[in-house]
Amino acid sequence: MLEPKVWQLTAGSVVAGLALAAVAVAVAGPWDSGQRKAEREWAAAQGRTGGAHHDPRAPRTPSPAPSAPEVLSVLTAQGAEPAELADLSAGLGKALGPLLDDKALGKLRTASVVDAATGKPLYGKAADTPMTPASTVKIATMAAALSALGPDHRIATTVTATRDAKTLTLVGGGDATLDREGLRSLAEDTTRVLHDRGVTKVTLHYDASLYSGPRAHPIGPNDNIAPVDALMAGQGRLDKSTRGPAPRSGDPAGDAADLFAELLREEGVRTTAAPTAAKPAKPARSAKAAGSAEVVAKTYSRPLSALVERALTESDNDVAESLARQTALATGRPASFAGAEQAVRAQLEKLEVPLTGARFADGSGLDRKDRASAALLTALLARAADPDHPELRPVLTGLPVARFSGTLRNRYQDAAPAAGLIRAKTGTLTGVNTLAGTAVDSRGRLLAFAFMAGSTSSPGEAQAVLDRLSASLVR
């Protein structure tokens, strides 16, 4: 049992950490979406003052999110003299060295710590060595998507109709967060148009042709990811879950179309038969023919900033693969695994981060062919804190918070005073454990870190060491 003074110190550390986290939440705004909204309401609840009320009905047309030039300006403005950084570097070497020698990390481990305000390296152990990153590769995927598309971008799902409005096509745009309510919105808007034209019975097709190449992830059927389709509802989940592993449909696009047909019927529009996949469009012979398909309804995803936060906070593999393909589309490449890999790398090259040995075989980190160095991950985190790259800020705001949110909700139980002071993306595959994120040290400086272990035998023990490594940065 802990002595009273130890309990007091631990409790005080947690309270202090959560208080600083609440300040960081206010500084890291301004998006009212995803992780930012959840943290702000949670912080308000702790003060017993109540949170703001938000309309649960999302807009059906895009509303650009505000830009964020001052995000994290308080933290990133705190520079440091060279001598101070040298002292910090020496201290990190003494603190991290013994922890990195822990046998729980196996024989292959790397590390990188940089000052987020300046990007200057403070500590490294084989930092340039490419490793299997597991889900920490999502940091690279998200940075590339934000760089290519911007945080305000929204993904559309569309319904088109023939000139007589008797044939509809549900067209997927790649929104991996589309759910029953989103389809209901489409159904309501569609039937409103059909009723105005006196149509109560239609033929329904669906179009998921936006993506190309293999639909199945290289790991094969897996509860951690659905087939990568441009059209899906509820991420193809066959249960009522909204996050984490779950049995998945083998045909998310077809199932989404079936659900849309059901919702149309609820609104008074019957379908002639079960929905079928739309035939590939033939080249139009005239402008008149090209305009024969009319858009009658459209719904949009939340802004890309919110999608990035969701992908990082909950380690959402479906959203990650979707955003990798959106990056490919934005850069004129095929929306396939191969095209997405080319697009992600090209965008990261523009950010001038170290890419030697890097490989982005997928966007989620489930593919063991992925490669990233600890130095690459910390460089991306530093870019996200750079005032010159406000578009990348959701990479930081989406990171799970120690003892509070996402995949870190149940971590750091024995690593006080980490609660609220560490935000990090986890990575876990069999034999692979990684952690990359930011920590606020005792002087209020923001540090970016990445710790990677590639030959672990016990994930629980390895995770505990990674937690202690990052918690040591706070001290």
| Spatial separation of the C-alpha atoms in residues 233 and 433, rounded to whole Å | 31
89 classed as catalytic: no
Residue among 33, 315, 405, 472 flagged as catalytic? 315
Known catalytic residue at 315: yes
Longest dimension (CA), the chain: 83
CB atoms within 10 A of CB 49: 8
What is the rounded CA–CA span in Å between residue 465 and residue 125? 16
Query: How many alpha carbons lie under 13 Å from residue 410 in its C-beta half-sphere?
Result: 2
286 is catalytic: no
Which one of 33, 37, 112, 138 is the catalytic residue?
138
Please give the full DSSP string across 38-80, using - where no structure is assigned. Answer: HHHHHHHHHTTS-PPP--SS--SS--PPPP-TTTTHHHHT---
Per the structure block, which two tokens stand in for 127?
């930092």
Residue 228 DSSP label: -
CA-to-CA distance for 420 and 404, rounded, in angstroms?
7
* Cα distances (angstroms) measured from residue 95 to each of 265, 459, 463: 64, 22, 18
**Catalytically annotated residue among 13, 135, 147, 472:** 135
CA proximity to 134, closest of 232, 224, 215: 224
Q: Left if phi > 0, otherwise alpha if psi is -120 to 50, otherwise beta: which for 352?
A: left
Identify which of 227, 223, 290, 230 has the alpha carbon closest to the alpha carbon of residue 257.
230
* 3-state class (DSSP) for residue 242: coil
Could you give the residue numbers annotated as active site? 135, 138, 315
